[in-house]
Chain A
Amino acid sequence: MTFMAKPKVAHPELPRNALGLTRRDYEGSNSTLCAGCGHDSITASIVEACWANALQPQNLVKLSGIGCSSKTTAYFVSGAHGFNSVHGRMPSVATGANAANRKLHYIGVSGDGDTLSIGLGQFIHAIRRNLNMVYIIENNGVYGLTKGQFSASADVGTKAKKGEVNSQPPIDPVQLALTLGASFVGRGFSGDKRQLVPLIQAGLRHPGFALIDVLSPCVTFNDHEGSTKSYAYTREHYHAAVEADYVPRAEAIAVDYPAGESLLVPLHDGSQVRLRKLEPAFDTRNRANAYAYIDAKLHEGEYVTGLIHAQDAPEHELHAVNRTAATPLNRMPYERLNPGAATLAKLMARYR
């Protein structure tokens, strides 16, 4: 496989965002994934969300581990730096990168294998640090890139392509994140762009760790009869509890929503996510309720989707806790870091 540049033709009639950029400006190189792979649809949603948020391409940083899913960071926003790291360890690279420059937007793309098996420890600790990033799990229940072994998100009773039945209970990243106190937790389906794009838009504005677990069928190894992560099964069993809408700052004032029907979650830059409840029993702000609700639905065999939990003002973000200077550390001039020769000479007295 060699690198193939995508021809970039700007049609004058293509819609432009606040920066005057079109969606094409947020694309990456050509995908090499299987035709119909759910991951490609998620890539399209990321492109849409970045465009809609009018993000400067170079202000985005893309990080990933290893897997079909992790490859996709090459397929969007080619004007952004990307780091396709090692299997399961993307969170640590993201943590270091974020430590070096708190001003950029960090988006991590991982798989269910990358996150829930080899990378479970780092995933948990990124949540614990409330690292300011969007963390997308492209969840297909299998290891795609190593050809279809069950992953830790495979449901009990789901069938592999060759007939093997999984008997180990799955780890649900959404429930895990909720118990760890994650400040923003959502679930989507690669096939529902309308729901997914606002989730990503809101996640990008959330000033802390934003987890978005996206059910993303693997057409090659996990899209058959008997699989619980196939397109057909997911369409039938996914349960949109809330419909999210991303409301940019400028519009927030203008639009008037009828109270009771919708819930506005303010984001730190003045924009908002508007949640329209489809299920009256569901309350996204209350973590315990959110957990109980999705747990009950899981027992009925349904995946609740939408923005499941968000805190308005998340605490303990890495830099907030550290009280890091506003100037990104990677731009801090050496003069501000060097205590100087005279200070050192004085310091020597302590060691005599």
Chain B
Amino acid sequence: MPPKAAPERVNDFVIKIGTVNGTGSASANGLLMKAVFRSGVPVVGKNYFPSNIQGAPTWYEIRVTRAGYRARAGQVDIMVALNPESYARDLQEVVSGGYFVYDCTWPRPALLRRDDVTVLGVPLARLCNENFQGVRTRILMKNICYAGVLAALCDLDLDVIRGLLAETYAKKPQLVESNMKAIQLGYDYARKAFDCPLPLRVAKLDATKGHIIIDGNTAAGLGCVYAGATVGAWYPITPSTSLMDAYKSFAERLRATPDGRKNYVMIQAEDELASIGMVIGANWNGARAFTATSGPGISLMQEFLGLGYYTETPAVVFDVQRVGPSTGMPTRTQQSDLRSAAYASHGDTRHVCLYPANPEECFYFAATAFDLADRLQTPVLVLSDLDIGMNDWMCPDLKWDENYQPDRGKLLDAEQLSKIDKFWRYYDHDDDGIPQRTLPGVSAKGAWFARGSGHTQYGAYTEDSRDYQIVLDRLRKKWITASRLVPKAIIENSAPIEGEGNGTNELAIVTVGSGDAPVREAIDRLRAQGVAVDYMRVRGFPFGEEVETFLNAHKTSFIVEQNRDAQLRALLLLETGVEKGRMRSILHYNGMPLAAAYVVDGVMAAVQDRARPAAQLVR
């Protein structure tokens, strides 16, 4: 059946591919995304995968976005359904006027019926069975064949695809040919059977120059190499594992030495209690050491994080957040640890946190985190999430400042020690709350004893109330210093809209981390509807002065975050003097990345003073 005429939507639509995990569809999905990118058209990739190794449904979503938005669109225009188990719900998800492509080797006319959706059957299995030998090859080729179908439907350039395959299989040219053959099969079939291209098509642009496609974990691992990290200790947990893998492979290649000796150590620890202990031990001994984990790991690290805070030992912890509570949904995204990271451990403990919003910030914040940890002599937690960490994002090229030197903070060397009378570990020489520090192995004069028990400003054990309190109060002072050193919040004030009732300083949206992309898109859409909103994204904890000033300057700030309990809002309430009524929550916590529509809905509901529609469970 030829597709019905629909309004043209060039470079602005969403393809979603539903397959069975473990069948090798990842390469076809990556290929399609890159083909769009290489056509000069901005693109977003989202992988919705199960906590399972083989046999469960899995989806990949490609958003073609001329405007360069970076969030998921929240709707599906073309569904490629390759998993009969999920046909029914995949069909439901297609937007009215959209398309549903499936393998009609086994026709399902009764099941696949929706008057407002065009169903396109392609006999993928039959095509591949006729043209390839061997069960495994046939399955793999079926998962490449649909890329050819989409290329025809969306007008992707086959030369671009061939070029990509040639790069991927540079060392196995025969694979280029077999893959290309499968693509051509799908392509030719679609061209013959349907009216190609669809109104939803890609037209070449020049909007991806100077950009790359990368995930946040890869970028963060690379950032740790550039930041000069030498010790990485971890215990595997989704979605953080690929960060350590990335560090390892970059360190291996980019830091290769003539004699093959390594200038880094990677330790797979026995658990997260051990990985954070190793990170603290290594930093205490002067290496830049880090770990990556997720919520359950943060829970296990609590005691050590408190020790790090009180002994004033640097540490860098990447928390790639996932859905909680408990094991939650390990392969779904959430901003679930904002609160537990900020105050991890017992006692008056608090931690410097950084909140990257995208892979490029994951990269740059790595060095920032190590510099802050060394400068402030305290653990620093970098809170990314599954959406940032494991999805493919289009980012500006990563750059490195050739003049960068690690800030090791107030670290006294042998010569500096020789010039002072006596070394006092916890004494506030500079009135900024940051004491001086020495490393083992340098000089007996600088020797000190790190302990989690009460200590005086000179470093000795104490149970004396006054001596104890002097140190605790100085730590508070250091916290204030920290609020000046963490990355400032990004603030963008909107221009008033002519003739509309609201202007700047009326409404604002405040968000954190991966809330950035959907909120920015939402602000554009709200403006198109006549609502001007200012924007703030917090990037560090403790919050800088600018955060409170911004909140106090707005009548209503919508705090947009991805958890049920309004954790960011709770931190803002606790850590600033802003009154409760100024901050209204827009919460999204179903495990899927946030889309702009949800934010727009939330704001409009408030603006129009109507009840917000119940949260839709969008897959």
A interface, CB within 8 angstroms of B? 1-3, 29, 56-59, 61, 63, 73-74, 78-86, 89, 91-101, 103-104, 121-122, 124-125, 129, 318-319, 322-332, 334, 336-341, 343-345, 347-348, 351-352
Are A325's CB and B257's CB within 8 A? Answer: yes
The interface bits of chain B over 455-483 (1 if a CB of A lies within 8 angstroms of the residue's CB, else 0) are 01010111110010000000000000000
Are B280's CB and A93's CB within 8 A? Answer: yes
Are B280's CB and A96's CB within 8 A? Answer: yes
B interface, CB within 8 angstroms of A? 34, 37-38, 211-214, 222, 225-226, 228, 230-231, 233, 254-255, 257, 260-267, 269-271, 273-287, 289, 303-304, 307, 311, 397-402, 404-406, 438-453, 456, 458, 460-464, 467
Chain B residue at minimum C-beta to C-beta distance from A3: B460
Query: What are 16 A-B interface contacts by the 8 Å CB criterion?
Result: A74-B461, A82-B451, A83-B450, A85-B277, A89-B274, A95-B233, A95-B277, A96-B281, A121-B270, A325-B257, A325-B262, A329-B263, A329-B265, A330-B230, A337-B230, A344-B398
Bound Cα distance from A352 to B33, whole angstroms: 11
Are A340's CB and B400's CB within 8 A? Answer: yes
In the complex with contacts A2-B462, A58-B444, A325-B262, A97-B285 CB distance below 8 A: yes
Bound Cα distance from A322 to B449, whole angstroms: 29
Bound Cα distance from A219 to B369, whole angstroms: 48
In the complex with contacts A1-B463, A85-B452, A330-B286, A100-B281 CB distance below 8 A: yes
Shortest Cβ distance from residue A22 to the other chain B in the assembled complex, whole angstroms:
14
Q: Which residues from chain A contact B278 at a C-beta distance below 8 Å?
A: 92-93, 95-96, 99
Shortest Cβ distance from residue B406 to the other chain A in the assembled complex, whole angstroms:
6
CB contact between B284 and one of A74, A83, A122, A327 (< 8 Å): that residue: A83
Are B269's CB and A92's CB within 8 A? Answer: yes
Are B285's CB and A92's CB within 8 A? Answer: no
Shortest Cβ distance from residue A63 to the other chain B in the assembled complex, whole angstroms:
8
Q: Which residues from chain A contact B230 at a C-beta distance below 8 Å?
A: 100, 329-330, 332, 337
Q: Which residues from chain B contact A340 at a C-beta distance below 8 Å?
A: 400, 402
In the complex with contacts A329-B287, A344-B400, A337-B255 CB distance below 8 A: yes
Q: Which residues from chain A contact B284 at a C-beta distance below 8 Å?
A: 83, 93, 96-97
Q: Which residues from chain A contact B453 at a C-beta distance below 8 Å?
A: 84
Are B280's CB and A81's CB within 8 A? Answer: no
CB contact between B260 and one of A323, A331, A343 (< 8 Å): that residue: A323
Chain B residue at minimum C-beta to C-beta distance from A125: B270
Q: Which residues from chain B contact A74 at a C-beta distance below 8 Å?
A: 449, 451, 461
Bound Cα distance from A351 to B281, whole angstroms: 35
Chain A residue at minimum C-beta to C-beta distance from B286: A330
Are B405's CB and A80's CB within 8 A? Answer: no
Bound Cα distance from A122 to B257, whole angstroms: 32
In the complex with contacts A57-B447, A58-B440, A99-B289, A348-B398 CB distance below 8 A: yes
Are B226's CB and A322's CB within 8 A? Answer: no
Are A337's CB and B213's CB within 8 A? Answer: no
Bound Cα distance from A340 to B263, whole angstroms: 16
Are A330's CB and B397's CB within 8 A? Answer: no
Are B447's CB and A96's CB within 8 A? Answer: no
Q: Which residues from chain A contact B398 at a C-beta distance below 8 Å?
A: 344, 348
Chain A residue at minimum C-beta to C-beta distance from B456: A3
Bound Cα distance from A73 to B440, whole angstroms: 14
Shortest Cβ distance from residue B443 to the other chain A in the assembled complex, whole angstroms:
6
Bound Cα distance from A120 to B282, whole angstroms: 21
Shortest Cβ distance from residue A114 to the other chain B in the assembled complex, whole angstroms:
13
Q: Which residues from chain A contact B226 at a C-beta distance below 8 Å?
A: 338-339, 344
Shortest Cβ distance from residue B433 to the other chain A in the assembled complex, whole angstroms:
22
Bound Cα distance from A121 to B230, whole angstroms: 25
Shortest beta-carbon contacts, A-B, top 8: A92-B277, A96-B281, A79-B444, A3-B460, A330-B286, A100-B287, A96-B278, A351-B212
Shortest Cβ distance from residue A1 to the other chain B in the assembled complex, whole angstroms:
6
Bound Cα distance from A298 to B395, whole angstroms: 66
Q: Which residues from chain A contact B275 at a C-beta distance below 8 Å?
A: 92
In the complex with contacts A96-B285, A339-B225, A339-B254, A80-B444 CB distance below 8 A: yes
CB contact between A80 and one of B283, B397, B440, B452 (< 8 Å): that residue: B440
Shortest Cβ distance from residue B445 to the other chain A in the assembled complex, whole angstroms:
8
Shortest Cβ distance from residue B237 to the other chain A in the assembled complex, whole angstroms:
17
Bound Cα distance from A334 to B405, whole angstroms: 8
CB contact between B399 and one of A91, A332, A344 (< 8 Å): that residue: A344
Are A86's CB and B263's CB within 8 A? Answer: no
Among B269, B270, B446, B460, the most chain A Cβ lie within 10 Å of the Cβ of B270
In the complex with contacts A57-B447, A329-B230, A122-B400 CB distance below 8 A: no
Are B273's CB and A101's CB within 8 A? Answer: no
